[in-house]
Amino acid sequence: MSYTEELGKRAKAAESAAAVASTSQKDRALAEISKALLENKELIIAENAKDIAAAKANGMTEAKQDRLRLDEKRIEGIAKGVDELIALKDPIGQVIDGCTRPNGLQIIKTRVPLGVIGIIYESRPNVTVDAAALCLKAGNVVILKGGKEAINSNICLGKIMRGAVEKAGLPADIIQVVDNTDRETTNELMRLNGYVDVIIPRGSANLIQAVVKTATVPVIETGAGNCHVYVDASADLGMAVKITDNAKTQRPSVCNAIESLLVHKDIADKFLPMIAERFKSHNVKLYGCDRTITILGSSVEKATETEYATEFNDFVIAIKVVDDIDEAIAHIRKYSTKHSECIVTSSLENAQKFQKQIDAAAVYVNASTRFTDGGEFGFGAEIGISTQKLHARGPMGLTELTTVKYLINGNGQVR
């Protein structure tokens, strides 16, 4: 039996204990994890230092090293995140729907855990704890496969969490961290049908595409976000500047930041200089169509298909002047990754048209796309943002880590 199959087998053996664990037992395990993280700060920092040293030796950029680094404050933040899950409502056992059929059969639709979840992710070791804790709260078993750059940190965090889970009277195998950096293990994990119920990749578009291509286990895609703001002719231009600026520059590296700006031709002369002025303070690089260049001048580089299709994740934006809302909708349909799209408008008709015709997880009227987030939606926590249409769409909280089971009670009914 391969190492990966062994992982799968151990996960399946722990599945039932996780599924039937009471809320208080799961919460006790979360409290133990939080406590153990704080008690083992020095150990974690020491193991993380090995990863940082390797990163330095491999010439990793300072910015990336910073994402990898765990210090006392960050560990406290991670532990606090785990503590916060305790307060969240346990989704397991919730009765969602039900009826009594004419033949007297009582049908009850209840919420149950998904089972064994494989998480494949990169870089930041905090995901190891965040994801494990969320899966545990929803009664699932998790197999975590992080990036090779964080292997020492991840193994250390895994050991600490496993000990804590055991201390709470649950099987340690509810949380397993892959302890090698072998690509073969990742590939096997994605094809471990029968042992793994779902794979959730978290990371770059490349990682996610590789998982989608390779996996035979069902996958929930997360994260790709080529998002747009469309400023309509009737928009409050002050509001449009505020929203566009926020959606682009408040945190450009994340998936709910915008990559393109569409502007109605009637207000382009007035609006484009306003937003360009604002962008200047953040050194945003501008690409634009010919009409944009005519208005803003030659500091704007000509935008091609490539720019409109790119998720820059950076202080870069592609601008297009459009004739009307229909052209805006058509453009978004062509380039959108169906994550978050926004119209700024004062027209009720156009607001409704945009929300009806745009196919995306979140469609905004007069608010920044940056709100597509489990915390901002009031979910308390999130495992990622689903950009596919099956199972979950948009921010995924605890509920999205569950499935359903029908309980049917009869007194001898047959067909």
User: Which amino acid, residue 356?
Assistant: K
Nearer to its own copies, 169 or 194 (CB): 194
Please tell me the distance from the alpha carbon of residue 185 to that of residue 187, in angstroms, as a whole number.
5
Using CB under 8 A as the criterion, which residues of the chain lie in contact with its own copies when the complex forms? 15-16, 19-20, 99, 101, 105, 107, 112, 114-115, 193, 197-198, 212-213, 216, 218-220, 236, 239, 242-243, 245-247, 250, 333, 351, 355-357, 359-368, 370-372, 376-378, 388-391, 393-394, 403-415
Nearer to its own copies, 55 or 342 (CB): 342
Whole-number minimum distance, CB 367 to its own copies, in Å? Answer: 3
Whole-number minimum distance, CB 392 to its own copies, in Å? Answer: 8
Q: What is the dihedral of CA 137, 70, 161, 255, to 10 degrees?
A: 30
Nearer to its own copies, 93 or 297 (CB): 93
Whole-number minimum distance, CB 393 to its own copies, in Å? Answer: 5
Asked if 247 and 409 touch (Cβ cutoff 8 Å), the reply is: no
Whole-number minimum distance, CB 144 to its own copies, in Å? Answer: 19
Whole-number minimum distance, CB 112 to its own copies, in Å? Answer: 7
Q: What is the dihedral of CA 215, 221, 226, 230, to 10 degrees?
A: 140
Please tell me the distance from the alpha carbon of residue 349 to that of residue 141, in angstroms, as a whole number.
47
Nearer to its own copies, 48 or 372 (CB): 372
Please tell me the distance from the alpha carbon of residue 128 to that of residue 121, in angstroms, as a whole number.
9
**At which residue do the structure tokens 């471990």 appear?**
192
Asked if 346 and 378 touch (Cβ cutoff 8 Å), the reply is: no
Nearer to its own copies, 59 or 102 (CB): 102
Whole-number minimum distance, CB 258 to its own copies, in Å? Answer: 12
Nearer to its own copies, 44 or 240 (CB): 240
Angle between helices 23-39 and 151-167 (to 10 degrees): 130
Q: Report the first-to-last Cα separation within the chain, whole angstroms.
A: 44
